[in-house]
Every structure is written in structure tokens, then in C-alpha cells.
Amino acid sequence: MSAASENGLDDERAYRWPIPPPEGWTADDLDRIPGLPPHTELIDGSLVFMSPQTRFHLRCMRLLEYSLLSQAPEHMDVDREFTVRLDDKNRPEPDLLVIPAEAATGPSQTWHRPEDVILAVEVVSPDSRERDREVKPRKYATAGVPHFWRVEQDDDKGLPVVYVYELDPASKSYGLTGIFHDRLKVSVPFDTEIDLTAINRRPGA
């Protein structure tokens, strides 16, 4: 039998959590640290790990991704769960991003520049409420991302509720422009209409 490690796991199954340098991790470190869980973010120099996503979160991202892809103009594209390098200490991973098509630099690309992000979308999870409602929107606004959507689950119906924000360039802060139940209809950053009650239907059905 192998000796037990300090965390109670057998040595062959033990995982050593990465120890941060005194000044914290940097955006480049996300591509270099071995064995990080999928969808690890960097917030203020600290690694943030994702909890297993709920079915609502999964279905909501699918609905929004398909809808945005099918309605975006040809010069725009949509990426899912892809990081944005806001600065050297912050590299969050929005659930969905709308970007100019030319922002894609190749198959080895691992992050986008904030100036290339047209819309960032966060679907709020129980473990990410503070980050998705306060921390990340504030950082996106400071970085100049012009449009932000926050998506919450309606507790009564189990349907998405979309809070739509637009950047005030003078204050570098977001202003709420609409709260959408059942159907989302906006004209910026492009004409978009989404039936939010279709969250459990197959795309295109």
C-alpha cells in the first residue's frame, strides 16, 4: 500500500495545487501552469476554478450561442467559454463573446484582447454570483467592452432573464438598458431576437 499524502490521498492520486508567486499569477501563466481544470479564470492575480455547471447553465449557453451565431452579421463571430486578457492580472472567461471575425488569429489562440470584444455574456451560477454580478462587469466596463449581458434564472419558471447593459464611455461604467423575460429583442450590437422560453428546445426546432 502506498503512503498517504498530507491531503489524505494516496501518493499516486495526490494533486499538488499550484503555489502562486509572491506577486500573484499573470495572464500568461494560464497557458503555462500544468494540470489546471478546464475553464480556469484569472481574477486579480488569483486562479478561479469553475464548479460543475448546472443543466440550466448548459442549456442557456446553448440557446444564446445558437441564436447569436444565427443572427450576427458576417463580419462578427461568436466564441464560447474563451478568455479575455483584460490586463496582466485579469483573464476572465465569459460564457459567450461576440467579436469581429478578424479577431481570430488562428487555431492556437487562447485569448482575446478586450478591444476586440463587442459583447460579453455571463450566465450566473450559484458559485459565481458576486463575480458575475459585480466583479467581472466592472472589469469589462473599465476595459471598454461596449455591451454586457447578465443572465439569471427565474426561480418561478426556470427560464432565463437577461439583463442588458451598455457602456457609458465617459464614466467607464455600465448602464442597464433593459430586463427581458420570455423574449429578448435588442438592436445593438446588432438586431437580435431570442425566444427565451425555448431554452429546452433543440436549436432550430
C-alpha dist (Å) from residue 175 to 40, 163, 165, 171:
28, 10, 5, 10
**What's residue 15's pLDDT?**
59
* Banded pLDDT at 8 (limits 50, 70, 90): very low
**What's residue 14's pLDDT?**
58
137-190 per-position pLDDT tens digit: 999 999 999 999 999 999 888 999 999 999 999 999 999 999 999 999 999 999
**What's residue 127's pLDDT?**
85
81-104 per-position pLDDT tens digit: 999 999 999 999 999 999 999 999
75/20: higher pLDDT: 75
Mean pLDDT of the chain, nearest integer: 91
* Banded pLDDT at 10 (limits 50, 70, 90): very low
Percent of the chain at pLDDT above 90? 79
* Banded pLDDT at 119 (limits 50, 70, 90): very high
C-alpha dist (Å) from residue 35 to 16, 30, 116, 140:
9, 10, 29, 27
**What's residue 50's pLDDT?**
83
On the question of pLDDT at 3 being above 50, the answer is no
Helix (H) or strand (E) holding 63: helix 55-71
On the question of pLDDT at 20 being above 70, the answer is yes
Q: What residue type is assigned to position 162 of the chain?
A: V
Instruction: Taking the CA atoms of 2, 7, 13 and 18 in sequence, report the sign of the dihedral they define.
Output: negative
